[in-house]
Amino acid sequence: MTYAFSGGLLLSVLVLAVLVALPVRLAASFADARRPGIFWCCGAVAVGLVVGYLASALFGGYIGGPLAGFLGFVLGIRLMLGTSFAAALGLSIIAFGLSLAGFALLVKLGIITSVVSSHAIVT
């Protein structure tokens, strides 16, 4: 299964980033982060995704790709927001759950559609 993107991709990515960054910003203020601003939280989510991808690529063979990606995401949030590791873990769980919910909402609204590729069909 592959995904096809409709015209409002940039807008939907921006909306998804803000939807994830707002609860992370609220949780960052509760976690006593050094940098709890909305732009820091949005940047922390973006950096967390990149660090998570790199951790998954580098250490995925040792501890598993999803676990390495999640730990990289936690590390990225910890470094960007200046929180403790436990607070970054809580922020990451919040961001992960909201990202899944946001992606499901974008699929349900038709902004991202799933398309069955002809290459995936085995006869």
Domain-located, residue 96: yes
Domain-located, residue 53: yes
Amino acid 6: pLDDT:
55
Amino acid 121: pLDDT:
54
Mean pLDDT in residue range 41-57: 82
The number of folded domains in the chain is 1
Domain-located, residue 123: no
**What residues are paired with 114 via a beta bridge?**
3
Condensed to tens digits (0 to 9), the pLDDT of residues 68-123 reads 888 888 888 888 888 888 888 888 887 777 777 777 777 788 766 665 555 555 55
Amino acid 97: pLDDT:
77
Domain-located, residue 2: no
Domain-located, residue 81: yes
All residues at 6 or more sequence positions from 20 whose CB lies less than 8 Å from its CB, including other chains? 45, 95, 98, 99, 102
Domain-located, residue 119: no
* Residue span of the structural domain in which 80 resides: 48-110
Mean pLDDT in residue range 29-37: 85
Domain-located, residue 87: yes
Could you tell me what percent of the chain has a pLDDT over 70? 78
What is the 3-class SS of 59-102, one letter each residue?
HHHHHCHHHHHHHHHHHHHHHHHCCCHHHHHHHHHHHHHHHHHH
Domain-located, residue 90: yes
Amino acid 32: pLDDT:
82
Per-residue pLDDT band at 13 (split at 50, 70, 90): low
